[in-house]
Structure 1
Amino acid sequence: MTKTVSNMVVQEDTTAVIDLFCGAGGLAYGLKMAGLHVAAGVDLDPNCKYPLETNTDAVFACRDVSDLAPEDLTQWFGDASVRVLAGCAPCQPFSTYSQSRKSVDHRWTLLREFQRLAMAVRPEIVTMENVRGLATQAVWSEFVQGLEESGYTVSWSEVTCTDYGIPQNRKRLVLLASQFGRIELIEPTEKKIVTVMDTIGDLPPIAAGEQFDGDPLHISSTLSSLNLRRMKASKPGGTWRDWPNDLRADCHVRETGKTYPSVYGRMEWNKPAPTMTTQCFGFGNGRFGHPKQDRAISLREAALLQSFPRDYAFLKQDEQVSFKRLGTLIVNAVPPKLGEIIGQSIRQHLVQVRSGTLPGTQQLSLL
């Protein structure tokens, strides 16, 4: 069955997604779980190839998005009648963790590269996920205005991840745009906040510096003797102010250090995790201490708190674990659960388009 809106044709089951800046595949995996076909993922980091292809069945292109031509996207989309361009341009210039950066950063151009490709290819659906601070920048207004002037109906909002079952106090910016008409993120349906206990409470205990034999990612970083003493003195949800004076670092007693109480903190079992950072495997980098065990969270625990499934494959068999590389892959990814919500929103929108029930549009005519 084929239906049309204006001059645009929508056919059943011919939707294809291209994920720009795909990383380890968090967004792509979520879209796949929502029932969308992910055709390709693009990222400059070759370490993204294995997790993207293994977990989503998409083709990985190790390319700089700035070097992509519209014809590249057209080839990956193939003959799909509904094309979805998705992505999360690197967000460090807008992140609250990067306030020391200059207000203008050359990586702002990556969002404009995304826009360049969207305007040239004109996919039926566009979605962008990013840090919420981006919404205050002129480059974001230019991006939204460009889509609207090109005929897209655009909606965007700040999303609280815990509202959608993600066990992490993280807020993100989500944009959806469609040539078919009104499109919005589905409303939260979760009634219960998912906690740290719900997410990692049943993982096997390990010590600092130890790796669990059954899972290479269930590995924690080592602790110095001093930091092990600090860990033992730390309380879930507490701060370094709970420590005896002889354990406090010089930076803690300075005025500047007093404003960072969550550094060297433990998570709490009955609450969501704090926002994950690429250094979350280190006890001294934030509130990343395990609630009960005397260690920082493991890489697997970080992935679970990002809403990756337990069987998500980040490494080839017998591949060596690198904390820095995997920490970056895991945390820079869009939480897969959020990707699934975005995918469900797109699916719901397309169902409305195909059935002629999309608010604000006329009944669709059958061809």
Structure 2
Amino acid sequence: MTDIADAPVAASAVDLFCGAGGLTAGLLAEGLPVAAGIDNDAACRFPYVTNNEVPFLERNVAEMTADELEELFTPEVPRILVGCAPCQPFSSYSSKRDDDRWALVERFADLICEVRPDIVSMENVPRLTKFENGSVLRNFVDRLREADYHVSADIVCAADYGVPQKRNRLVLLASRHGPIALEEPPVKVEEHVTVAQAIGDLAMIGAGETDPIDELHRSASLSPRNRDRIRAAKPGGTWRDWDEELVTDCHRAETGKSYPSVYGRMEWNKPAPTMTTQFYGFGNGRFGHPEQDRAISLREGAILQSFDKSYRFVPEGAKIHTKTVGRLIGNAVPVLLGRAIARSIICHMREHGIA
């Protein structure tokens, strides 16, 4: 995969729900200028600004007006509005309409119809296609089409775009200038980036330890019982491989038998599983290191989200709150998927003479 532009494109993007900046980093890497990032999570400010050098506005998108959004765009160039509305309301663990965050998709549609940017991109979990029998996504698409946008929406695997992770996401693109779609996957299945290729060269650390050279390369501690469990875990295996005395009570229950990946190890020769906001915990999924007796570190999780190894999430010397950093990393749009979105937008702009 190569950059399609030698110089920045004449355009102006605003990143709603920008988080730690994964999508913005992807846009910038392909030469697509970003005017601002917006998120109501104050913890996003440092990584977003420090790594991307783009202004950050701490604001609840639900309370933003069209006029405020208009002012953020650079005048007299094509305007691009991108965003990843919080996906937790649509996850398989929630899907509750009484979660106020689901309404942010509706607010996103409001702002698009009021501001009328040239191009729009939305990234979210595939389950959004089924939430409320698909009505939330269907209404979003219908509103954009009624506003004269051409819309495409596809469920893609991030590994097909170079991300070392089996992360399926819904990517929607819309344009007022003509049909638009995400580029065809550039990476074949047999060429997927593996866990070994992504994090195999990082320093060895133990559970509860931190690499003295990289403070983000730190792993959560393990209880004696969980240390025994990870030692019994096989890469790609399940808790069913363990001796009976190590099996948890929840797994013995009928409801726990359908979660074989919990307390699992990753495999060196395959992409990682989806990074959640709790990837740093061995008991939260298949987040055990393939070889070392520990959960993957915060840095390893960030790399598996295709962030650069030098991407900073906290100021130097500041206390690292694992839960906060884990949330920032797990919620991010993988940078390489962001680059694919950017390339698709730039190609579309050139095809329609607006780049």
Scaled by the length of structure 2, what TM-score is found? 0.94
Residue 59 (structure 1) shift: 0.8
* Contact 1:306 1:330 (C-alpha < 8 Å) held by counterparts: yes
* Contact 2:157 2:167 (C-alpha < 8 Å) held by counterparts: yes
1:16-67, Cα deviation, whole Å (9 max, x unpaired): 1100000001111111111100100100001111111112221100001011
Mapping 1:137-148, distance limit 5 Å? 137-148=134-145
Report the Cα distance in structure 2 between the residues aligned to 1:287 and 1:148, rounded to whole angstroms.
Answer: 40
Aligned to 1:195: 194
Matched, 1:173 2:170: yes
1:91-124, Cα deviation, whole Å (9 max, x unpaired): 11211233xx435532221011111111111000
Report the Cα distance in structure 2 between the residues aligned to 1:253 and 1:352, rounded to whole angstroms.
Answer: 58
Residue 232 (structure 1) shift: 0.7
Aligned to 1:361: none
Aligned to 2:5: none
* Contact 2:79 2:119 (C-alpha < 8 Å) held by counterparts: yes
Aligned to 1:109: 103
Report the Cα distance in structure 1 between the residues aligned to 2:251 and 2:228, rounded to whole angstroms.
Answer: 16
Mapping 1:267-278, distance limit 5 Å? 267-278=266-277
Deviates more, 1:326-335 or 1:249-258: 249-258
Q: Unaligned regions of 5+ residues in structure 1, if any?
A: 1-11, 357-367
Which of the numbers 72, 77, 88 marks the counterpart of 1:76? 72
Which of the numbers 56, 79, 83 marks the counterpart of 1:87? 83
Report the Cα distance in structure 2 between the residues aligned to 1:35 and 1:78, rounded to whole angstroms.
Answer: 15
Report the Cα distance in structure 2 between the residues aligned to 1:302 and 1:87, rounded to whole angstroms.
Answer: 22
Matched, 1:263 2:257: no
The residue identity in structure 1 corresponding to 2:222 is L
Report the Cα distance in structure 2 between the residues aligned to 1:28 and 1:237, rounded to whole angstroms.
Answer: 33
* Contact 1:50 1:314 (C-alpha < 8 Å) held by counterparts: yes
Report the Cα distance in structure 2 between the residues aligned to 1:341 and 1:212, rounded to whole angstroms.
Answer: 32
Q: Unaligned regions of 5+ residues in structure 2, if any?
A: 1-7
1:163-189, Cα deviation, whole Å (9 max, x unpaired): 111111111000111111111111111
* Contact 1:265 1:286 (C-alpha < 8 Å) held by counterparts: yes
Matched, 1:162 2:159: yes
Matched, 1:20 2:16: yes
Matched, 1:231 2:225: no
Aligned to 1:96: 92
Residue 79 (structure 1) shift: 0.6
SS in 2 for 1:259: coil
Cα RMSD (Å) of the superposition? 1.4
Report the Cα distance in structure 2 between the residues aligned to 1:314 and 1:17, rounded to whole angstroms.
Answer: 23
Report the Cα distance in structure 1 between the residues aligned to 2:252 and 2:9, rounded to whole angstroms.
Answer: 61
SS in 1 for 2:15: strand
Residue 246 (structure 1) shift: 1.4
Cα separation, partners in 2 of 1:355 and 1:282, compared to 1, 3 Å: closer
Aligned to 2:334: 335
* Contact 1:14 1:80 (C-alpha < 8 Å) held by counterparts: no
Report the Cα distance in structure 1 between the residues aligned to 2:336 and 2:315, rounded to whole angstroms.
Answer: 23
The residue identity in structure 2 corresponding to 1:112 is E
Aligned to 1:46: 42
The residue identity in structure 1 corresponding to 2:65 is A
Report the Cα distance in structure 2 between the residues aligned to 1:103 and 1:116, rounded to whole angstroms.
Answer: 19
Report the Cα distance in structure 2 between the residues aligned to 1:79 and 1:14, rounded to whole angstroms.
Answer: 11
Give the share of equivalent positions with the same residue, in percent.
Answer: 53
Aligned to 1:29: 25
The residue identity in structure 1 corresponding to 2:319 is Q
Aligned to 1:8: none
1:309-363, Cα deviation, whole Å (9 max, x unpaired): 111111111111111000000010111110110000001111111289xxxxxxx
* Contact 2:9 2:31 (C-alpha < 8 Å) held by counterparts: no
Aligned to 1:5: none
Matched, 1:152 2:129: no
* Contact 2:22 2:332 (C-alpha < 8 Å) held by counterparts: yes
Aligned to 1:127: 121
Structure index of larger Rg: 1
Report the Cα distance in structure 2 between the residues aligned to 1:102 and 1:184, rounded to whole angstroms.
Answer: 30
Deviates more, 1:324-333 or 1:105-114: 105-114
Cα separation, partners in 2 of 1:355 and 1:124, compared to 1, 3 Å: closer
Deviates more, 1:151-160 or 1:290-299: 151-160
